[in-house]
Structure 1
Amino acid sequence: MSSSIPSTLPDWPPALPQSQLDHLTTLALDYALSHGLIYRPPYPAGCSSPLSASSISAPISLFPSPFPKDLHSKALKIQEIYNELYARVTMDEEWLEEVVKACFWGVDGGDGFLRELWKGWKEVREKGIKQPLHLLLARSDYLVHQNSKDPLSIKQVEFNTISSSFGSLSEKVGGLHRYLAQQTSYFGASPHLKPENLPTNSPIKGLAKGLAEAHKAFGVAGSEILMVVQDGERNAFDQRWLEYELLEAHGIPSHRASLQTLTTASSLDSSTYQLLLTPPHSSQPVLISVVYYRAGYTPDDYSTSSLYTVRTKLELSTAIKCPTYALQLAGSKKVQQVLARPGVLEYFLPTASTVGGKVSPVSKGGKMYSKEEVDELRESFMGLWPLGDGGEESLEGERLVKESDGGEGFVLKPQREGGGNNVYNKDIGPFLEELEKKDRLLPSTEPPSKSAYILMSLITPPPHLSNILLRSVKPSPDQSPLEDHSADLKEVISELGVYGVALFGKGEVVYNDGKVGTLLRTKGRESDEGGVAVGFSVLDSVVLV
């Protein structure tokens, strides 16, 4: 495969006169607004209502961004294996517990958020798991990596097991770029900008089918799906498209509620442990088949202890959770780091050449993969090291930080999702020193704070790529009504996310789809973080080169 992968990407975007760029921008914004590629606008100060009679275009790129065709195919190819891997990690409870507890052993030290999730998982196991099935709606994120001697490659940023968002809006932005190519041919600006290089992308169908498969497995007539959302959610439309697909393609109604609302609106049947939801518009409870989390991935979603309590209540029910506590813990950065150790992939994905070695109990009798397939997963890893546990790997990581002028060329990652949490390059050294100062106040029996982090080699994206990033902006008093967006030409980095769906439990994967669709997020090269919802990135699509 590598022989057809380029060593660099074309300079981008192609040059166009301002009049043509303005025309493309007008077409793009109208398409976005008319096709549901939208956000709710920021709320005025003091207002927390999630309802609004207006909308704005989601942040988008004007051009699709170049991505190597063979690397795009590889990312899609290995998603099914990644789904299987994380299913097996989740089902191997003993292994998972040992790994994640390394981040917070003790009472107060380490990662408090992971500890709370683990405590909920522990409580559910002690009281008895009522629903053995787990539903994974995943997204594996990659950057194109370039070094001086090898062809371009893809390297994994992270694997998301909770609230893998933007599938719906990603489908819409792909449609936008195909529309611009068909309507204008991008004015002949690049030979790459032709329909056959703009692949179709349908995450809405695949993600909704995963939810429908879980609903079907629940198997109780009249039950419905619950989507757990954040209060004041501005990205509701990305979620609504899944709601519409569930209803129109599968005949399954769904409901939206925040954790706070569920403290009073949800209940467990005392004998059957079925989860009942009383919607605000009705006094008649509804039986819930699937709990789909688009919240609960950050400590900010649990502002009071009662919200952890309601999360555990949902977990104790017979509803199928997407994700369960265990599956959310499996998506932690710590698990990603441990999977990169020699032999760990083969522990979960034994091949014909390794089957005689130590194998996870949940892998025995499961689907077999070839050594080449497992090696393709390993090739997507960057260097990963633990910190703070005193072992050889941890000491190696700390040595690398010191020898790299305080962390240049590395990123420090906590066990968090959603963007805005990482520490980069030379900021790492001073950050770790501050953690060490705080740790001096902790009892020696507590883990060091840096054990809540992993160290990862930075991926080096190709240079000379730019794009025009369109964002809606809040009008100012002296602004023309037509100037309601910004169009910034920036040098950019694009991150490819590949969606996957798996339904599994009792040592068996019963449904696995690795070709659900993709997401491309593009950000200014000066920005270390990459979240769309927190304002760092825009939604994009690929043009295959």
Structure 2
Amino acid sequence: MSVSTTLPDWPPALTPEQHQHLILLSSTYALSHGFTLLPPQSANPPTSAISAPLTLLPTPFPRGLYELAVALQPLYNALYARITLDWEFLDRVMGGSVSKVDSFQGELWRGWKSIRNDLVQPLQLGLFRSDYLLHETQGEELSIKQVEFNTIAASFGALSQRASEMHRYLQKATDGFYSISPHLTKPSNIPQNEPLRNLASGLAQGWKAYGKDDAVILFVVQEGERNVFDQRWLEYELLESHGIQVIRHTFSELSSLATIDPSTKNLLLPSPLQPSSPPKEVSVVYYRAAYTPTDYPTSAEWTTRILLEQSKAIKCPSMALQLSGAKKIQQVLSEPGVLEDFLLGKDRPDVGFGVGAGSLTRADVDKLRSSWIGLYPMDDSSYGQKAYELAITEPERFVLKPQREGGGNNIYRENIPTFLKELEAEAREDGEPSKKEGYILMELIEPPKGLRNHLVKGGDNHSRNSDIVSELGVYGVSLFGGDVKQNITSTAGTLLRTKGRESDEGGVAIGISSIDSPLLID
């Protein structure tokens, strides 16, 4: 789908006094409402916080494309549930060359394969985020194109809600941002957005499905986490709105603390402040770590991951669901007939989302495909050979992506040919695939030019007026895999991250991207 919306010149002019007033209002609001990060080298326990990187004004986004992205999420929820339940597909895609040349994905796939026949918890919980960029090509209308689909540690839901609340506050406190634009004076142009409430509700649904009123939810977190407030807001929402306690631990802590009851397979943890009391039973394991190789510095962390996977607790995500979010899966889905099989195939499981056998149509498939840009394998198939030729001869059109989450891993444009030749030059054993097969080639999405905004880096008392690119994320919740009647799905709000156009990579915590709100334009 595309739209003929013309985005306005942005931002409208602010006087120096208005600009400084907005910085004062936004920074004090952020600090007052926990729209914050820990500063670098923070003390433990922390003694200070800085506002998260933010934008002074919301950024224009076509209303029709925003609504399309939100409407696609239930289809994605169903798609990734079906992928996760299809072991044969995961074995073929992730157990093939990817597992041989990518040590992290290989360890994840082999670990899951070694225990999957003995798992005791059929239910799986996904807190997803599907990320999109606006795409504009000469002579065509604006459209949205998917960047990636996140199945693990989809962050910033709480801070995104705070950003939306901040921009709505600024709208009210300044008479529609001083009426500098008619788009800013209409409250409905900044949509209500509650991912904090909705994601916490999804975790609570998992807790409820587990069926033990005194069970806790475990957050598996990284050492030295700066984005701790985004996580803490989920913890507070679970306690205050649902009466559910949260325990936070790193992998290294869990290696000595977590145990499984041999008869019930219950996951047990000692109470943090009452170690002599009976251990706490864990209903849901929610990962805000475990998505990057640095989370597994030794074999002990992999042993702990396997231990958690074998327990009765519902995993968010399971190892299979994490594998489903790999870039290679995204690429294979784009091949002819693959998406159609998952959504229209008559032997596909009814995952209970109102999208059972026969309920989806070719139009649903076309909607998803319309949001995709060109994706190519880097293998020795004829399709892969064509992709290699494109990457060498027209690199300015592409980005080369490994099987990684978290940003900072991609190879862009003119750097691609040299990088590919270096991969091919690496020594390998007989029969071992080239390391380039651990990558996919993706056409570059071309965001519209001419939009600017005032970006405020966390901790600064001034802004930078920059040519910008904004990435829209749509959150989804999916509980699936057990009794179909118990399964749930929902769309859970949005995230807009805005960065200077000069940067290929993002990253809110390191100050490259700012958390923003969409200003819907008809």
Paired residue for 1:175?
165
1:236 aligns with 2:228: yes
Give the 3-state SS of the residue equivalent to 1:192 in structure 2: helix
* Deviation per residue, 1:355-386 (Å, 9 max, x gap): 5xxx5466795472122122100101110001
Report if the CA contact (8 A) 1:8-1:462 is conserved: no
For 2:247, give the aligned amino acid. H
* TM-fit CA distance, 1:399: 1.2
Question: What runs of 5+ residues in structure 2 fail to find an aligned partner?
Answer: none
Report if the CA contact (8 A) 2:125-2:478 is conserved: yes
1:28 aligns with 2:14: no
Report if the CA contact (8 A) 1:275-1:318 is conserved: yes
For 1:38, give the aligned amino acid. T
Distance in 1 (CA, whole Å) between partners of 2:367 and 2:376 is 20
Distance in 1 (CA, whole Å) between partners of 2:438 and 2:509 is 24
Match of 2:107 among 108, 116, 119: 116
Write the mapping of 1:315-330 to structure 2, written as runs, cut at 5 A: 315-330=309-324
For 1:461, give the aligned amino acid. P
Distance in 1 (CA, whole Å) between partners of 2:512 and 2:408 is 9
Distance in 1 (CA, whole Å) between partners of 2:348 and 2:439 is 26
Aligned residues: 514
* TM-fit CA distance, 1:464: 0.3
Give the 3-state SS of the residue equivalent to 2:197 in structure 1: helix
Write the mapping of 1:234-383 to structure 2, written as runs, cut at 5 A: 234-283=226-275, 284=277, 285-350=279-344, 359-360=347-348, 366=357, 368-383=359-374
* Deviation per residue, 1:450-483 (Å, 9 max, x gap): 111000000000000111111134xxxxxxxxxx
* TM-fit CA distance, 1:25: 0.5
For 2:108, give the aligned amino acid. L
Paired residue for 2:514?
538
Report if the CA contact (8 A) 1:91-1:506 is conserved: no
1:460 aligns with 2:446: yes
Report if the CA contact (8 A) 1:91-1:507 is conserved: no
Match of 2:116 among 122, 125, 128: 125
* Deviation per residue, 1:510-538 (Å, 9 max, x gap): 43434210000001101001221343211
1:515 aligns with 2:491: yes
Report if the CA contact (8 A) 1:7-1:146 is conserved: no
* Deviation per residue, 1:302-334 (Å, 9 max, x gap): 111100110110000000000000000000000
Report if the CA contact (8 A) 1:146-1:462 is conserved: yes
1:445 aligns with 2:434: no
Distance in 2 (CA, whole Å) between partners of 1:232 and 1:50 is 9
Distance in 2 (CA, whole Å) between partners of 1:515 and 1:280 is 34
1:390 aligns with 2:392: no
Match of 1:471 among 437, 442, 457: 457
Question: What runs of 5+ residues in structure 1 fail to find an aligned partner?
Answer: 474-483
Give the 3-state SS of the residue equivalent to 1:385 in structure 2: strand
1:150 aligns with 2:140: yes
* TM-fit CA distance, 1:83: 0.4
Paired residue for 1:490?
466
C-alpha RMSD over aligned residues: 1.7
* TM-fit CA distance, 1:50: 4.4
Paired residue for 1:422?
410
Report if the CA contact (8 A) 2:402-2:439 is conserved: yes
Match of 1:435 among 423, 429, 436: 423
Distance in 2 (CA, whole Å) between partners of 1:444 and 1:204 is 51
* TM-fit CA distance, 1:436: 1.2
Match of 2:124 among 125, 129, 134: 134
Write the mapping of 1:95-106 to structure 2, written as runs, cut at 5 A: 95-106=89-100
Paired residue for 1:19?
17
Give the 3-state SS of the residue equivalent to 2:247 in structure 1: strand
Report the CA distance shift for 1:365/1:179 in structure 2 as closer, same or farther (over 3 A).
closer
* TM-fit CA distance, 1:177: 0.7
Distance in 1 (CA, whole Å) between partners of 2:283 and 2:349 is 29
Range with greater deviation from structure 2 (318-327 or 534-543): 534-543
Distance in 2 (CA, whole Å) between partners of 1:54 and 1:424 is 37
* TM-fit CA distance, 1:221: 2.9
Distance in 1 (CA, whole Å) between partners of 2:461 and 2:214 is 45
For 2:274, give the aligned amino acid. S
